[in-house]
Structure 1
């Protein structure tokens, strides 16, 4: 090549092949469109729902799944996003403590209501000169089943005629004064009659302490109802005879001649209903056989 000649440059076009991107974007787009369709469908359903249906839907989403499946009380469930509520989210110690605290709080509220009822009864008895003489025959104590009110006998002031269910006038006044106070409570009531161990001449084969205690419990029930007590709140009326003497007393003591009123808490009332239902079921089973 001579000096004056230019070099020959051959330019060849380079073919660039674009890589294939695939169809992944189509899947993402389809998911997005499906989600949008579901959203608009839900909005359309909510716009046509009644207020009651909307409240039901809201309640459904407020109730934790574990509580809904177990049929439990939503009020007893936790509102925490961390189920455990403690330092380790996999543990439920914190949740258990919260539930126990709420149960204790509920029990304390019920107990306060019983204490308030006792104070109202004491106030009414103290304010009436005639009932005030019976104040030493009224005994209160808190039991696992509720507030127990015992109306006990004395030799000087018996509540019933001897060997009879005839209610003494002052006992009648006391029961009728208690009726509206007991009626203020939503709780169910249990009434039981008790006697001392002195037997009837005919023994247990005739009219005995069993019948007497039951008749006196029913006589007390009638006086409460006459005083305005709601008969629908009565759950049980029983006669216990002389089988449950007062603690620390001789079976023949007058203190064992008593009427016991128990303002039942919810658990005790349910327990009584369950036992009655179970006994009725056994009776039907025996009859069918």
Structure 2
């Protein structure tokens, strides 16, 4: 009985397991599933929003990536490739080209010779139109028609030439003087406004015949022809021609006769009006730009050209 009282008391503690399917491991699996689904839907969205050109570029690249990278070819630098260097327009299927080969970026070239020839043809047509207009004016104007035999129109290397010539019984100027005769002033007044129809500059030259003429103070055919040309310029401006159209006024004396066989022919006494072409204008401007004029010497030379009283002659 005594041994029965000393028997040890044994307490059994039962440990319960992880609970089977009621544990937390399913949460990890569910998170992996959601992540995979999100990646799948993201991939589907990218595929749906990517253009066909991008997809073709990606497909071509991954078919032979090493060959494309090392040797070039379709997919290397194509504008349809999404690889860097594939061009600006990713929707294009054709490969990119160099900037110089693109018609949109190619620099325009101009044929200067052809352009110059076109300008010369246009100017020739413009001067031809002016000549026809002057001829119509001469035929229709009562003031000019009676003098049409003294009005000569032709073309020279400098442009359209309008010449007003003397007749034996109808001189343009009084003998040995630079004052215009009444009919000469009338002719120039009628012609002046018509010359404004073209942008070309004007040159005037005075001419005498070969009859010798020289005054005591040195006034000769040279000064007389220059004064007559300048008097004609004033009449044109008074008639309505713009003053800034005049580019040259010269006196040629009897150096350039119209009738070379008879230097004393009255027809050699004339006024020439040149409607200059562009080539002549540029030549005068280019030569004038190279000329350097001193102040003192030029003024003294101009003072010496003051005309004295002329002797009787035409």
What TM-score do the two structures reach when normalised by structure 1? 0.64
* Correspondence for 1:181: 194
Pick aligned residue for 2:235 from 219, 223, 226: 223
* Correspondence for 1:140: 153
Q: Are residues 1:243 and 2:255 paired?
A: yes
* Correspondence for 1:81: none
Q: CA contact under 8 A between 1:191 and 1:238: conserved in structure 2?
A: yes
Pick closer, same or farther for the CA change 1:197–1:23 going to 2, 3 Å.
closer
Secondary structure at 1:206's aligned position in 2?
Answer: coil
* Correspondence for 1:211: 223
Question: How big is the shift at 1:274?
Answer: 1.1
* Correspondence for 1:31: 85
Larger helix proportion of the pair: 1
Distance 2:108 2:208 in 1: 52
Deviations 1:21-76 (A, max 9, x none): 59948x964434xx549xxxxxxxxxxxxxxxxxxxxxx96632xxxxxxxxx4x4
Task: Trace 1:119-138 onto structure 2 (pairs within 5 A).
Answer: 119-138=132-151
Q: Are residues 1:63 and 2:76 paired?
A: no
Q: CA contact under 8 A between 1:196 and 1:252: conserved in structure 2?
A: yes
Root mean square deviation, CA, Å:
3.2
Question: How big is the shift at 1:112?
Answer: 2.4
Q: CA contact under 8 A between 1:131 and 1:170: conserved in structure 2?
A: no
Question: How big is the shift at 1:133?
Answer: 1.8
- Structure 1, unmatched stretches of 5+, are 1-19, 38-59, 65-73, 78-95
Q: CA contact under 8 A between 2:143 and 2:187: conserved in structure 1?
A: no
Distance 1:22 1:105 in 2: 55
- Structure 2, unmatched stretches of 5+, are 1-64, 71-75, 78-82, 90-104, 298-314
Pick closer, same or farther for the CA change 1:115–1:201 going to 2, 3 Å.
same
Q: CA contact under 8 A between 1:190 and 1:263: conserved in structure 2?
A: yes
Distance 2:175 2:166 in 1: 11
Distance 1:219 1:155 in 2: 21
Question: How big is the shift at 1:249?
Answer: 3.8
Deviations 1:64-110 (A, max 9, x none): 2xxxxxxxxx4x46xxxxxxxxxxxxxxxxxx8xx3xx655543332
Question: How big is the shift at 1:185?
Answer: 0.8
* Correspondence for 1:57: none
Equivalent pairs counted in the alignment come to: 210
Q: CA contact under 8 A between 2:257 and 2:263: conserved in structure 1?
A: yes
Secondary structure at 2:85's aligned position in 1?
Answer: helix
